[in-house]
């Protein structure tokens, strides 16, 4: 479960990162529908105008035993806008998790994505996870730039030339919780068999 973080964007706007709540459904729906068609395609790997009510429900009602999801809001407490969403789902190995994120168009290039990736890595490490990975469309230059900026390994999928597999190992120094999960080495999931579950 992510802790609440407050910081200031480069332009001085206050920002908050906190766990997602069920009451965020309307704002999350607005974030998704407000993305450009290109950004929606990049996030959901398909041309959609929005997500179904069932999927939206699943995105805000998080199963904390295997999922982590948080939102980024800008503005002050009296008037906040939900501008970002980041999440991961733990895979069948129990050691890795697939992640995804999105930032509203007008709020991109202000460091929110980088902050969200750092939070995902910190939370995953604290949960005893060993790897965070994702599938990025090969033409998603902003996400690939963010991934490289954050030190992720980016490898063209061997089975789908339209995908790039991105992954990062967790810093063991951040692994202070759930030590029983950090025992014997288990191979990272095959980069040829990633699927978008988030």
Ligand X SMILES: CC(C)(COP(=O)(O)OP(=O)(O)OC[C@H]1O[C@@H](n2cnc3c(N)ncnc32)[C@H](O)[C@@H]1OP(=O)(O)O)[C@@H](O)C(=O)NCCC(=O)NCCS
**Interaction of residue 143 with ligand X, rule CB under 6 A:** yes
Nearest to 194 by CA among 142, 158, 145, 153: 158
Collapsing DSSP to helix, strand or coil, 18 comes out as: strand
Q: What is the smallest separation between the CB atom of 140 and ligand X, expressed in angstroms?
A: 5
The residue with tokens 């697939």 is 98
Q: How far is the CB of 150 from ligand X (least distance, A)?
A: 7
Tokens describing residue 152: 């992720």
Q: Does 42 bind ligand X (CB under 6 A)?
A: yes
Measured from the CB atom, the residue of 128 and 131 that comes closer to ligand X is 131
Contact status: 28 vs ligand X (CB under 6 A):
no
Q: Does 130 bind ligand X (CB under 6 A)?
A: no
Q: How far apart are CA 148 and CA 191, in angstroms?
A: 17
Pick the piece of the chain touching ligand X (CB under 6 A) from 19-27, 54-62, 137-145, 155-163: 137-145
Torsion on CA atoms 69, 82, 59, 98, rounded to nearest 10: -40
Q: Which segment (52-60, 111-119, 120-128, 168-176) binds ligand X by CB under 6 A?
A: 111-119
**Of 18-26, 51-59, 134-142, 181-189, which segment contacts ligand X by CB under 6 A?**
134-142
Using CB under 6 A as the binding rule, whether residue 139 contacts ligand X is answered as no
**Among residues 183, 167, 79, 75, which one has the least CA distance to residue 128?**
183
Largest CA distance in the chain: 49
The residues binding ligand X (CB under 6 A) are 39, 42-43, 100-103, 108-114, 134, 136, 140, 142-143, 145-146, 149
């Amino acid at each position: 479960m992510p802790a609440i973080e407050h910081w200031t964007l480069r332009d001085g706007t206050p920002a908050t990162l906190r766990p997602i709540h069920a009451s965020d459904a309307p704002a999350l729906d607005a974030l998704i529908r407000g993305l450009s068609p290109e950004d929606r395609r990049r996030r959901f790997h398909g041309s959609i105008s929005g997500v179904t009510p069932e999927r939206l429900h699943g995105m805000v009602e998080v199963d904390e035993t295997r999922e982590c999801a948080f939102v980024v809001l800008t503005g002050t407490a009296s008037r906040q806008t939900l501008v970002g969403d980041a999440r991961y789902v733990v895979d069948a190995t129990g050691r890795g998790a697939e992640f995804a994120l999105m930032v509203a168009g007008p709020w991109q290039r202000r460091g929110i994505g980088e902050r969200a990736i750092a939070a995902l890595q910190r939370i995953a490490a604290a949960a005893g996870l060993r790897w965070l990975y994702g599938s990025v469309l090969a033409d998603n230059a902003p996400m690939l730039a963010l991934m490289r900026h954050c030190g992720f390994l980016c490898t063209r999928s061997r089975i789908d030339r339209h995908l790039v597999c991105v992954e990062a190992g967790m810093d063991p120094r951040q692994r202070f919780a759930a030590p029983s999960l950090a025992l014997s080495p288990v191979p990272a999931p095959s980069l040829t068999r990633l699927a978008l579950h988030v």
